[in-house]
Amino acid sequence: MARRLSEDELEQIKGSVDLVELIGQDIALTKRGKNYLGLCPFHNEKTPSFNVSPDKQFFHCFGCGKSGTVFNYLMFQKNIDFMSAVKEIAEIGNIKIDGLEEKQSFEKPHQRLYDIHHEAAIFFHHLLVNTEYGSEPLEYLQARGIDAEIIEHFNIGFSPKGQESLLKKLLIGKGYTEIELLESGLFARNEQGTLRETFFNRIIFPLADEFNHVIGFSGRTMDAHHPAKYLNSPQTKIFNKSHELFHLAEAKPVVRKTQEVFVMEGFMDVIAAYRVGILNTVASMGTSLTGAHIERLSKLSKKLIFAFDGDSAGQNAIYKALQLVNQKIPAEVVIFPERLDPDDYLKKYGDEALVNLMQHARSSQVSFLIDFTKSQYNLANEAEQLAFVQKMLPIIGQVKSIVAQDVHLTQLSELAPLVSKEALIQELSNGQTRYSKTNTLDRLQKKQTNQNNLVRLSQLEQAERQLLARVLEKPTVLQELIENQAFNFKHPIYQKIYVQIIAYFLRHDIIKVTDILESLENEERSVLFEISSLELDDEITDGEIKDLVAIIEKQSLLDQLNQVIQRQREAKANGNFEAELNLGLEIIQLQQEIQK
């Protein structure tokens, strides 16, 4: 029978494999102080920012923010779920746990939210295909070429108007609370304070994560004149539209095989591609494409193919997407003629035409950028031609293939005939040297800025970091600080980390850095990783802790002093002699406390 793994069993499995050795099989790691440093395997970088702590068996990338234990590393590296990573680490570490080979009932964070969405997806689908409520939307879908097989594959559903309480009754009956329903994003409170459903009178598309767990929904209206064609789930603890991609779970196997992924604008476009047998397609979920989307796809595929609508909005969206790609990964563009979107192109020209267009009629990203950018210039004008050329040459200069560069220079010379191709080649050759030097200077300046920031840490900030490092090493230091109820860190980020440490300690009666790191946001996690890696003396003395606390508390007095000085100036300006005198006495007292 399946059972949950205990924390002790998970710790045993985690401790059976050395994180440095595991990661060292994939990337080169160099010893730097207490940690190891290398180029991040999860995003493209030229300057190493990927740190591994052998003491804490924890990794953190200061570039992309990914971090975690051996389990997280395998999850990111192989795109597998938590239990798959646990099983693989147990196998590597030769750990035998009874029942591990069986399906585990391991409780994921926010499992109740996943369960609510699973129940809702079944409910919406049932209403569409098995009840009278679904008759009109079924006719609508069939008219758009969406048959029963597609409805089943995409688990499409319907939420009827006038029956908004049905889903609430179902979920409350299954034991979910109103607070959980609100957290799911499927409900909101109306002006009377009662729960109302987010979706009604809309065809429902379930939105799943890369493991095919439903995490949100998108509702499409059947009213052609409705101002909001789509209504999407709000951001929740399990749904972040800037990170997730529609159809990714189904597309992944094909993407891995073909090493190509089509990026489309909407759900109906993905469905149109599915209808003609093109399965390696994804779409953003009600938002513009983001850097996080590009980063995720670049880990799965060697090439991105943008197949957006043929209208001006679609072309502008492709242009913005290519700025995000910025030559990090090869990209191509499918141009749909007559300002059509993929779904309309399929209806007008048929299956074979759509397949041929998507598979064989692609432009390179540079060709698209040349064609897109030319409309911004009056190329009948000599000055405009020169400006256009100067705009495009740096982009062509980033292309690695000499043959491809030659093709693009030919395109450019045809559009700007006043400049010969020979002159373009010479300018490109000269320009590439300049571009290379500029990029090198930028990198050096950024590196110098980062170093200067480290050097310029104030005495206060150094004290706060050192004190937090001592807190992590010795719980008795934390207990002393907790007893001093007036004590707080001055910088908000250190105070937030301090509060998280206290919360963890009060729950578990120990301080476990890896668990605390995993509970933090990216910026806080980066700071705590730096703090936990500080190289300090092994011995912690009472005098050291008192001095660090004194430095931090002194800053509080200095802040009070500055405030009183400002109030005294205002009293003097207003001619309030008595207030000025009293504030002067307060200033003297604060100065004496600071001297102590």
What is the residue extent of each domain of the chain?
7-92, 111-232, 245-373, 376-454, 459-540, 554-595
CA 334-339-345 angle, to 5 degrees, is: 70
- Tell me: pLDDT of 360 over 60: yes
What integer pLDDT is reported at residue 103 of this predicted model?
46
Average pLDDT rounded to a whole number, residues 91-103: 71
Residue whose tokens read 């933090």: 520
What integer pLDDT is reported at residue 345 of this predicted model?
93
Buried residues in 485-523 as b, exposed as e (16+ CB within 10 A): eeeebbbebbebbbebbeebbeeeeebebbebbeebeee
Write the secondary structure of 207-246 as one string of H (helix), E (strand) and C (coil). EECCCCCEEEEEEECCCCCCCCCEEECCCCCCCCCCCCEE
Average pLDDT rounded to a whole number, residues 431-458: 42
Question: How many residues are present in the chain?
Answer: 596
What integer pLDDT is reported at residue 256 of this predicted model?
77
Return the percentage of the chain with pLDDT > 70, whole number. Answer: 91
Local structure of residue 243 (DSSP, 8 states): T
For 305, half-sphere exposure in the C-beta direction (CA atoms, 13 angstrom radius) is: 20
Q: How confident is the model at residue 105 (pLDDT cuts 50, 70, 90)?
A: very low
Q: Per the structure block, which two tokens stand in for 549?
A: 């606390």
**Interatomic CA distance for residues 197 and 184, integer angstroms:** 11
The highest-level CATH class for domain 245-373 is alpha beta
- Tell me: pLDDT of 223 over 60: yes
Average pLDDT rounded to a whole number, residues 105-113: 68
Q: How confident is the model at residue 180 (pLDDT cuts 50, 70, 90)?
A: very high
Residue whose tokens read 């029978």: 1
Which residues, other chains included, contact 370 with Cβ-Cβ below 8 Å and sequence gap of 6+? Answer: 392, 408, 411, 412, 415
What integer pLDDT is reported at residue 279 of this predicted model?
95
DSSP calls for 455-478: HT--HHHHHHHHHHHHHHH-HHHH
- Residue type present at position 498: Y
Q: How confident is the model at residue 114 (pLDDT cuts 50, 70, 90)?
A: very high
Q: At what angle do helices 365-374 and 382-397 cross, to 10 degrees?
A: 160
Q: How far is CA 335 from CA 307, 363, 399, 549, in A?
A: 7, 8, 21, 64
- Tell me: pLDDT of 166 over 80: yes
What integer pLDDT is reported at residue 367 of this predicted model?
92
Superfamily (CATH) of domain 7-92: Zinc finger, CHC2-typedomain (3.90.580.10)
| β-strands 260-264, 281-284 pairing | parallel
Q: At what angle do helices 291-300 and 312-325 cross, to 10 degrees?
A: 70
Nearest CA among 182, 181, 246, 252 for reference residue 217: 246
Tens digit of pLDDT for each residue in 399-409? 877 778 888 99
Q: How confident is the model at residue 115 (pLDDT cuts 50, 70, 90)?
A: very high
**Interatomic CA distance for residues 407 and 409, integer angstroms:** 6
- Tell me: pLDDT of 537 over 80: no
What integer pLDDT is reported at residue 3 of this predicted model?
57
**Interatomic CA distance for residues 519 and 283, integer angstroms:** 30
- Residue type present at position 207: L
| β-strands 58-61, 67-68 pairing | antiparallel
- Tell me: pLDDT of 106 over 50: no
What integer pLDDT is reported at residue 100 of this predicted model?
64
Which residues, other chains included, contact 406 with Cβ-Cβ below 8 Å and sequence gap of 6+? Answer: none
What's the burial of 258, exposed, middle or buried (CB within 10 Å: 0-12/13-18/19+)?
middle
CA 179-185-187 angle, to 5 degrees, is: 65
Average pLDDT rounded to a whole number, residues 484-500: 87
Q: 264, 278 in Cβ contact below 8 A? A: no
What integer pLDDT is reported at residue 523 of this predicted model?
83
What integer pLDDT is reported at residue 71 of this predicted model?
92
**Interatomic CA distance for residues 446 and 507, integer angstroms:** 41
- Residue type present at position 420: S
- Tell me: pLDDT of 340 over 90: yes
What integer pLDDT is reported at residue 273 of this predicted model?
95
- Tell me: pLDDT of 433 over 60: no
φ, ψ of residue 245 to 5 degrees: the values are: -130, 135
Nearest CA among 211, 176, 207, 187 for reference residue 83: 211
Q: Can you tell me whether residue 96 is helix, strand or coil?
A: coil
* Averaged pLDDT score across all residues of the chain: 84
Nearest CA among 209, 12, 189 for reference residue 94: 12
Average pLDDT rounded to a whole number, residues 317-335: 88
Average pLDDT rounded to a whole number, residues 529-537: 84
**Interatomic CA distance for residues 10 and 514, integer angstroms:** 13
- Tell me: pLDDT of 434 over 70: no
Nearest CA among 311, 322, 421 for reference residue 363: 322
**Interatomic CA distance for residues 502 and 488, integer angstroms:** 12
CA-based max dimension of the chain: 90
pTM, entire model: 0.59
Tens digit of pLDDT for each residue in 463-482? 889 899 998 988 888 888 88
What integer pLDDT is reported at residue 247 of this predicted model?
94
What integer pLDDT is reported at residue 519 of this predicted model?
78
- Tell me: pLDDT of 454 over 60: no
Q: How far is CA 582 from CA 64, 587, 594, in A?
A: 54, 9, 19
**Interatomic CA distance for residues 349 and 335, integer angstroms:** 15
**Interatomic CA distance for residues 294 and 269, integer angstroms:** 19
Q: 158, 133 in Cβ contact below 8 A? A: yes
**Interatomic CA distance for residues 306 and 264, integer angstroms:** 6
Q: How confident is the model at residue 132 (pLDDT cuts 50, 70, 90)?
A: very high
Which residues, other chains included, contact 207 with Cβ-Cβ below 8 Å and sequence gap of 6+? Answer: 214, 215, 216, 217, 218, 232, 233, 239, 244, 246, 285
Tens digit of pLDDT for each residue in 42-72? 888 888 999 999 888 899 998 888 888 999 9
| β-strands 67-68, 157-159 pairing | unpaired
Span 459-540: which CATH code? 1.10.860
Average pLDDT rounded to a whole number, residues 145-161: 94
What integer pLDDT is reported at residue 285 of this predicted model?
82
Residue whose tokens read 């389990």: 71
Tens digit of pLDDT for each residue in 234-282? 999 999 888 899 999 899 888 878 889 999 998 999 999 999 999 999 9
Q: Per the structure block, which two tokens stand in for 203?
A: 């065809």
What integer pLDDT is reported at residue 169 of this predicted model?
92
**Interatomic CA distance for residues 124 and 540, integer angstroms:** 61
Superfamily (CATH) of domain 111-232: DNA primase, catalytic core, N-terminal domain (3.90.980.10)
- Tell me: pLDDT of 456 over 70: no
Q: How confident is the model at residue 155 (pLDDT cuts 50, 70, 90)?
A: very high
**Interatomic CA distance for residues 50 and 43, integer angstroms:** 10
**Interatomic CA distance for residues 358 and 2, integer angstroms:** 46
**Interatomic CA distance for residues 292 and 312, integer angstroms:** 24
